[in-house]
Amino acid sequence: MRVPLYLSVAAIAIALGIGWHDHHRLIAARAELDALVREGDAHAAGDSSGGSQDSRRTREEARKAGAELASDWMDYLTKLESPEREDGAVLKERDEELFRRTLLMTTTGWDSFITRLLEAEDVPEHIRRSVIFRTLDTWIPKDPRGALKLIGKARGLIGDDPRGASSLSTAIHYLARTDPAAAVERVRHPEENLAGCVNDRTRTSLIAGVAFSDPALALQLVDEMDLKDRHSTIFSMGETPRTGPQKTAVLAAMRERLPALANDGARAEISQTILSGLANSFTYGNFSEARQWLESAKLTPTELAIFARQVQGSVLRPETGLWIEWLGSRLSPDDSRRIAATMMNDWADHDYQAATDWLSNKAPDGPVKSAAITGYIGYIADYQHETAARWAITLPEGDERDNSLRQVYRRWPAQEADARDAFAKENGFTWP
């Protein structure tokens, strides 16, 4: 069969999007490809006669597959608890096979799957609950509406298990990404058997999901909903979006919202928390990508300072020098000095050799480098007293140099006073 071009492109996107090193995700990609090929077969057969009969047969097969998969999962998890467990390689192969079949389930199959779990009263409840939560994780991103229906159907079995509320929150989040109005309605007016599962986490997940497509509505919901933890909810608005346009839309909604807020405190809460969330979305990410977005977003100096305070401790170590230079050239002098010193101190703590190499051979001379030197001295002064002093005397005359020398002096052990004073005499200065 010749797979349609759009299916081939989708399959390639799956592969490139996840990376092949993760074994379970590789299984998922193969399963998705199988589903795409079957979809191509369905398209190819779409004009054949007897389509209605074929559809009925397909639905019946899906129901049978769902019930069988539920039984197989229960059998597998029961065996895992047995003292006479099978060989690890056999169990691993079985786990992968069940995972693969789960990914290929249809909505009809899932309905039959849950029905089989509910009817299997001879199987311990904790086994049946484990099956639900193991499999829901694969189903929710594909069909959050269907997942919500199934969570409601299995509510009696789920009981007060906290994983039920967690799954509900995740499903609401995924639904909110594509249909904010429907997700809001589900949270405001939940089905009777799901009302007890709606909590602050659900509302936070909803607002974070809505921010993907309608950040202005998400900000409105922050004020309308009874949130116990406003900070985490607002932070998630900035942290959750992944693409540049999504982040820009959140920033634009924030800027539009601020003038309407009643006081400086409310404006500071929204701006600082969303900007910190946006910064966190680049945690351990790609510097080039972050720089491209920052330059297009045109943050004000105040906005950039908030962003920098959040991102300073969570950049990729090899990119720390790039961040120090870029932020240092755009922040106010005071913010630049503080960020450069803090980032260099943290870098030296985690990768001393790389930090030393950048400072010695790559950092351009100027105020940013001087500030970075003070942070570097702050890390090494307890361990390498003379090296710290040598870096201190490279600083231009002024407060940074004097303060760094004082720091080295205080942390140079008193029993080594002769070496300390000899160093000062040799290099033509007196300790401040």
DSSP state, residue 133: H
In a domain, 9, yes or no: yes
Is position 213 within any domain? no
136 vs 130: CA distance, rounded Å = 10
Spell out the alpha helix ranges (H) of 281-414: 287-297, 301-311, 320-328, 333-350, 352-357, 367-380, 385-392, 399-411
**Nearest of 54, 6, 35, 40 to residue 104 by alpha carbon:** 35
**Is 399 part of any domain?**
yes
- Which pairs with CB-CB distance under 8 Å and at least 24 residues apart come from 55-62? 59/108, 62/105, 62/106, 62/108, 62/109, 62/112
Whether the CB-CB separation of 137 and 131 falls below 8 Å is answered with no
d(CA 93, CA 64): 23
C-alpha–C-alpha distance, residues 107 and 146, integer Å: 7
Element (H, E) at 114: helix 107-119
Q: Which long-range contacts (CB under 8 A, 24 or more apart) does 81-88 make?
A: 81/127
In a domain, 426, yes or no: yes
Half-sphere exposure of residue 313, counting CA atoms within 13 Å on the CB side? 6
The DSSP output letter for 367 is H
DSSP state of 131: H
Q: Which of 209, 224, 213, 306 is nearest to 267 (CA)?
A: 306
pLDDT at 52: 61
Tell me if 428 is assigned to some domain.
yes
Question: What distance, in Å, lies between the first and last C-alpha atoms of the chain?
Answer: 82
Task: Give the pair of three-digit tokens for residue 25.
Answer: 């995700």
Which pLDDT does position 5 carry in this prediction? Answer: 32
Q: Return the structure tokens found at 197.
A: 């599962």
- What's the pLDDT at 262? 82
How confident is the chain (432 residues) per 10-residue block, as mean pLDDT?
34 36 45 43 41 69 93 93 78 90 88 93 93 89 89 88 91 95 93 84 94 93 91 92 92 94 90 95 86 95 94 89 95 95 95 96 96 96 94 94 94 93 91 87
For the full predicted model, state whether its pTM sits above 0.75.
no
In a domain, 15, yes or no: yes
Query: What pLDDT shows up at residue 57?
Result: 67
Residue type for 210, please? V
> How many domains would you assign to the chain?
2
Q: What is the pLDDT of residue 386?
A: 94
- Residue 402, domain extent: 385-432
Residue 74 lies in a domain: no
Reduce the DSSP state of residue 48 to 3 states and report it. coil
Residue recorded with tokens 């904010």 = 180
**Residue 369 falls within a domain, yes or no?**
no
Dist CA 274 CA 270 (whole Å)? 6
Phi, psi (deg, nearest 5) at residue 382: -80, -20
For tokens 């950040």, name the residue: 215
Q: What pLDDT does 178 receive? A: 92
CB 385 within 8 A of CB 411: yes
The CA distance from 210 to 216, in Å, is 9
Sign of CA dihedral 369, 371, 377, 379: negative
Per-residue b/e over 220-230, b at no fewer than 16 CB within 10 Å?
ebbeebebeeb
